[in-house]
Amino acid sequence: MTHNNLVRGLIIVGAVLLAGCGRSQPAAVVLQSEVEPVLSPGEIAAHQIVDFSLTDSDNIEFDSRDLRGQVWVASFFFSTCPSVCREQNEIARRLCREFGPKDVRFVSITCDPQVDTPERLKDYARLYEADPEEWLFLTGELDQISQIGQESFQLGVGYRTHSDRFVAVDKWGWVRGVYDWHDPRQLDALKENLEQLIHEDSSPFAASDAVPLPGPEADGPWIRDFTLTAGTGEEFRSQDLLGDVWVASFFFTTCASTCRAQNDMINHLHREFGGQGVKFVCITCDPETDTVERLSDYGKLYNADPDEWIFLTGDMTYIRRIGSERFDVPVDRRAHVDRLIVVDKAGEVRGKFNWHETGQVARLKALLSELLQESAEPAKE
């Protein structure tokens, strides 16, 4: 992915919430909390989606350019999710029944393509009596889907981890709104927006009026080293970990299931490797809630030694950039991928591991043992 394309993932179209739900364990968590404001078109960073191709439930190539001239609503899901995705797609079905006859298309993209083959998506679509002329279910390679989420919709998307937002796209491929389907008021706002978009005969966004993409020129150099605030109230600088092996992750304290399970796993790793010099760095993705005081209390739940296991907070925009630029993972407000990221003594990312999977945890442990024996300058290939 190019530098500029990655930067697109840093534009804030709206406050984004990832939602995931797994087969036996969820990949991320949806919390219905305070209502976030709906952004009007004037408040959205003007951008057209990056055109993309995927495969539909009839195993036919889908090209997003084929939707030019139609209003459409995009969302992400996966078929084995028995709760959040089912609820989301039930709402999508109601919207489709109301707006499908008005030539609004609905596009649902899986974030578990290994399972969600065209055949499976075809069966899944039947559950909702989805007319393929009005509601498309798409699959492809996971890396490609994650890139589409980031580049086209500025939403974080990972393995069985997705935004619980509907994205309204106009006839010219411009994103015109991002809506939380948990909130009836935002659903009403989405409907009002769709009615408006249906009747537009020209785009209100001229190319010359597009808001410039943020990047190094606007936001400073591409992030490698970063500075945040620890639960102790002290400044934390990632460069101070040079010479240490460390494990980074993202979480938020109000998540009572996945984040707690993830931190239980970190606690297990901390007991095994903390005494050997491995540090653990957990960055909140809900800094508005996760103040220094709250992180301090949260750390006490695990009897975490603040010199070995560090909980961090800071500005949400900056945390998004840390996720995207430093670790190459999608991070949004109350949103994170379920990966533990291993960094060596020279500050290089050496691996990302799904803590749900026993085999990957074993490989993570093996890598930590290996890195502890390395010098601060790993051998060059």
- pLDDT, tens digit, 9 for 90 and up, residues 186-203: 899 999 999 999 998 876
pLDDT digit string (tens) for 262-321? 999 999 999 999 999 999 999 999 999 999 999 999 999 999 999 999 999 999 889 988
The amino acid sitting at 117 is T
6 band by pLDDT with thresholds 50, 70 and 90 = very low
Q: Which amino acid is at 161?
A: T
Q: Report the pLDDT value the prediction gives residue 150, as an integer from 0 to 100.
A: 82
Residue 201: per-residue pLDDT:
82
Average pLDDT score over residue span 315-343: 85
Please give the pLDDT value at position 325. Answer: 87
| The pLDDT of residue 56 is above 80 | yes
Q: What is the mean pLDDT of residues 22-28?
A: 35
Q: Report the pLDDT averaged over residues 160-178.
A: 88
Q: What is the pLDDT of residues 88-144, one digit of tens each?
A: 999 999 999 999 999 999 999 999 999 999 999 999 999 999 999 999 999 999 999
Residue 165 phi, psi dihedral angles, 5° rounding? -120, 150
Q: Is the pLDDT of residue 2 over 60?
A: no
Pairwise pLDDT comparison (222 vs 298), residue with the higher score: 298
pLDDT given at position 106: 98
Contacts (Cβ under 8 Å, ≥6 apart) of 124: 57, 79, 116, 137
Residue 324 reports pLDDT greater than 90: no
Mean of pLDDT over the chain: 82
How far apart CA 86 and CA 78 sit, in angstroms, is: 9
**Residue 319 confidence (pLDDT):** 92
Judging by DSSP bridges, how do beta strands 135-139 and 104-110 pair with one another?
A: parallel
Q: What value does the mean pLDDT take over residues 367-376?
A: 91
pLDDT value of residue 205: 58
Share of the chain above pLDDT 90, in %: 59
pLDDT band at 49 (very low <50, low <70, confident <90, very high): confident
Give percent of the chain with pLDDT exceeding 70: 81
Q: Give residue 17's pLDDT band: very low, low, confident or very high (50, 70, 90).
A: very low
Q: Which residue carries 């089912």 as its tokens?
A: 86
Domains and CATH numbers, the chain: 3-209 (3.40.30.10), 223-372 (3.40.30.10)
Strand order in the sheet with 349-354: 235-237, 227-230, 309-313, 279-284, 246-251, 339-343, 349-354
Q: Using a CB cutoff of 8 Å and minimum separation of 24, what contacts does 298-305 make?
A: 298/231, 298/253, 299/231, 302/263, 302/267, 302/270, 304/267, 304/270, 305/274
pTM of the model: 0.52
